[in-house]
Each structure stands twice: as C-alpha cells, then as structure tokens.
Amino acid sequence: MKDKHDRQKMPEQKPSERIKNFKEVPFGYTEELALNEASRCLECKKPMCVKGCPVNVPIPDFIKLVKQGKFAEAARKIKEANSLPAICGRVCPQEDQCEKLCVIGKMSKPVAIGALERFVSDYEREKRNVAIPKVSEKTGKKVAVVGSGPAGLTVAGELAKKGHEVTIFEALHKPGGVLVYGIPEFRLPKKIVESEIDYVKQLGVKIVTNAVIGKSATVAELLEGEFNAVFIGSGAGAPKFMNIPGENCVGVFSANEYLTRSNLMKAYMFPEYDTPIPRGGIVAVVGGGNVAMDSARTALRLGAEKVIVLYRRSREEMPARIDEIHHAEEEGIEFHFLVNPIKFICDEHGKVKEIECIKMKLGEPDDSGRKRPVKIDNSEFSVKIDTVVIAIGNDPNPLIQKTTPGLEVNKWGNIISGKESGKTSIEGVYAGGDIVTGSATVIEAMGAGKIAAGAIHKFLMGEK
C-alpha cells in the first residue's frame, strides 16, 4: 500500500529564537496534523511497533482512537501500559524502538508514534480531562520505593493500581529524579513532569522528599518497619570524570552538576533564584549522548558565545537521539568528532582556560560493539575555553549498596537484579532502572519498573 502523504512534521520554535529562551522547542501537533499523521498507520494485525516498546504500549489501538478524533480516549489507552505518556512522547528514542519497526518505515518514513503519543497526552491534560483509573481494593500491603525517577514512579503507579499502599522516598526536594534535575525545560517542561507526578499521587502514592535512603533510613530499617517490600530505583547517581590533569579546575563541571544547577535549582533565572551558574564565554561539552546535547544546548541558552561538543568517536556512533543532535546543529553548536581531552589548563585563580586534546581514529569494535577510539600519536592540539561540562556517563551512587549488607552488586557497583522480576539477593527487595543497568533511557527504566511491579505484586500476594 502506498501511503497518502508524508510524515507530518511538528511545528517548532525557530533556532534563532529558541536559543534565547528555555521554552520547549517543538510546539506539538495540531488536531489536524495529528489526524493526518494517524491516518498513515496501517493498524497492522501483528504490530511490530509494540514489540519495539519496552512497556508494550498498544500503539495501533491508540492510533485508531486518534483517527476517530477520540484523543482523550487515546491517551487513556496508552496509560493502560504507560503512566507517563507526555514524558515518553517527548524523550523516548522512538527511532530506535517503536518507529524503527514500523512497517510504513520500510517504504517511507515511519508513523510518528512519539509525536502522536505526545499530542494525545497533552490534549488530555490541557482539556483537564485526565481520568484516574479505578484502584483495586486495598490489600493492606505497604511498599517503599527508593527514588522518584521514571523507574520509581512506574513501580509506584502500578502497585497503587493493584491496591497496595506505596510510599516513594526521594533524596532531593522535588520528585521526578532525572526528569527534573537532568532533562532541561526546553526538552521536557517541568509543569508536564509535575502533572504526571500528580497523576501518580492521585493513584494514592505518597511521596516523601528530602529522604536520603542509606542515611535517614536504611533499606533494612524500611523492611523491619512498616514496609512489606522495597523497590530501589535510585538511578545512576555518581558522575564519571576522565581522571586527567586539571579536572578539578574551577569551571569544569560534571553534566549532573551543570544540569542540576540549571534545571532543578533554576540557575538560569539567577539572581531571581540564588543558585549561580557561569554564563557566556566558550563552552566545551565532552561526550556524545543526550546528556551532552542537553548540556550544550543549555550553555547556549545561558548566553555562551560558542558551544563546542568534543566526542571521541565519529558522528555515527553518537548515542544521542537524532532529534537532539539535529536540534543542536540547527542551533549552531559545533561538533568536533574523533577528539578527546587529555588535560585541562587553569589560570592562576584555578579557573579553566584551555583544553589540550588529542585526535582519535576508530579501531576494532569494543565490548559495546562500537568501534574503539584509538589515540593518534603526536596529534595534540589545544582549544581556548571558559567552561567545560563533562557528560561521559555515570557510575552507580554507592549510598544504598554501602548501607545494605547482603545486597549483591556487580564489579561496577550496580545492583544485581533478575531481568524477569527485578528481584535482588535480598528477599522482598527489588531494583530496576539505571542503578541496575547503568545509564539508559527513561522508557527502559519504566520497563524495568513495570516488570518489578508485577513481581512485587506476586510476592505480596503470596503467589508463586
């Protein structure tokens, strides 16, 4: 079958405008665009797209409702599988998941599943038409969830629907985890995160902020106390550094710090908000993932004269979403591929002023299957900069592992848990998301949360 028209593009802010503000870049579909796009879906009998989704959203079913103009119903259809559609519609790497397997994609561009997901969930919210599903009868069982990021929110929502009493413990002062401290406003508006969290609260979930599990209470204390089970979804907490000279110069940031200052602490609104962040100058971002793109585009919006991304592999290996790379390029961010910093040079006040880099070439594939970057001898060069953001990933935060005897971890410090259950080495303790897998995506963490919720429910109800 030949599709009637091309994939509908989402209207968005012009690059020249958007680099001056923190407002969301794409405006989202209009009803007309959504109807046009939905009409491209073939409603396959054996939908491949669903297989590509870590939480198995019933994609053809919700798109069918869009075709009928039943937008709020479409949103509710998604929510049967995914409690955070407005977030997933914005930050999922659809090109590697559902859309990658779309049949239409073999002939032309795949159906814009992400854009449609975003449209219907925004529609439902904006029309104040959010339906709260019926919660099962109370079971009398209590579950503690550590961390309020995508994994924790998913577990909590799923278990609450099944009638369990759930309390989320969040170390920071605002719930949402990476959704609030990591992903910038221009990619994921915080009011949307708030409303999705509100939805989870309306399912009966209690959220306690400023509660650092491992310090204010240990996992064992939670289990000995009122809770029948614990889910650990504490995320990939500790920033990785490169261990090269000058890394502790003033003006060298981890992406976690840089983004936390800007997103969670609203440093972009300094001095109205008290948290400062450097503005202007030349900013170098080291890394090639979504976090690197978020940092680079944040720097631009904070008034950088120039932002350069230094990535040690080539463009093909960049792990960031295509949309984010594309948006960054449109905004004028410079990409320098096959280079790696080897030294940061400071001035007499300890402030970074220059990066010494070395050129790289690609060698044999490494464990990740990507070609290994190899140094080219005698190819050193230096770049003058004012600020550096290191966005090369995270190690697991050790707080919980250190304070939970008997909890098995792997050699990197990630908690070991069963893929099909989220079960850890301690009975009644489950884990999922980045603390188990290392840095991954929002939807993968949600997938793990969903699996763990199923297993926790069985455990609580005494099912085998």
Partner 1 sequence: MHRIISKKKIAEDIFKIVLEAPVVAAKRKAGQFVVLRPEETSERIPLTIFDSDAGKGTITIIVQVVGKTTRKIASLGEGENLLDVAGPLGNPTHVERKGNIAVVGGGVGTAVAYPVAKAFKEEGNNVMGIIGARTKDLIILEDEMSAITSELFITTDDGSYGRKGFVTDALKDIIEKNPVAEVLAVGPVPMMKAVCDLTKQYNVKTMVSLNPIMVDGTGMCGACRVTVAGKTRFTCVDGPEFNGHEVDFDELSKRLKGYSDMEKHYIGHKGCNLENKV
Q: Kindly tell me which of 195 and 275 has the beta carbon lying closer to partner 1.
A: 275
Question: Which residues ranging from 210 to 239 are in contact with partner 1 (CB under 8 A)?
Answer: 210-212, 215-217, 237-239
Among 261, 297, 312, 327, binds partner 1 (CB under 8 A): 261
| Three-state SS sequence of 3-20 | CCCCCCCCCECCHHHHCC
Query: Is there binding between residue 265 and partner 1 (CB under 8 A)?
Result: yes
How far apart, in Å, are the Cα atoms of 147 and each of 133, 155, 174, 235, 369?
Answer: 23, 10, 11, 7, 31
Query: Is there binding between residue 256 and partner 1 (CB under 8 A)?
Result: yes
Bond preceding residue 11 cis, omega within 30 of 0: no
Q: Which of 296, 284, 98 is nearest to 187 (CA)?
A: 296
Contacts of residue 140, Cβ cutoff 8 Å, sequence gap at least 6: 165
Among 44, 48, 103, 172, binds partner 1 (CB under 8 A): 172
Stretch that binds partner 1, among 2-10, 223-231, 244-252, 300-308 (CB under 8 A): 244-252
**d(C-alpha 250, C-alpha 246), whole Å:** 9
Q: Kindly tell me which of 176 and 239 has the beta carbon lying closer to partner 1.
A: 239
Binding mask 356-375 for partner 1 (x = CB under 8 A): --------------------
Among 257, 329, 330, 356, binds partner 1 (CB under 8 A): 257
Query: Which two three-digit tokens encode residue 187?
Result: 């990619």
- With vertex at residue 444, the alpha carbon angle to CA 409 and CA 401, rounded to the nearest 5 degrees, is 20
Query: Is there binding between residue 27 and partner 1 (CB under 8 A)?
Result: no
How far apart, in Å, are the Cα atoms of 377 and each of 217, 339, 391?
Answer: 51, 12, 25
Number of residues lying near partner 1 (CB under 8 A): 43
**d(C-alpha 247, C-alpha 250), whole Å:** 9
Q: Kindly tell me which of 174 and 321 has the beta carbon lying closer to partner 1.
A: 174
Among 248, 366, 379, 408, binds partner 1 (CB under 8 A): 248
**d(C-alpha 315, C-alpha 296), whole Å:** 16
Q: Kindly tell me which of 171 and 442 has the beta carbon lying closer to partner 1.
A: 171
User: Given the rule CB under 8 A, which residues bind partner 1?
Assistant: 171-173, 181, 209-212, 215-217, 237-239, 241, 243, 247-248, 250-251, 253-254, 256-257, 260-261, 265-266, 270-276, 278, 346, 349-351, 397-399
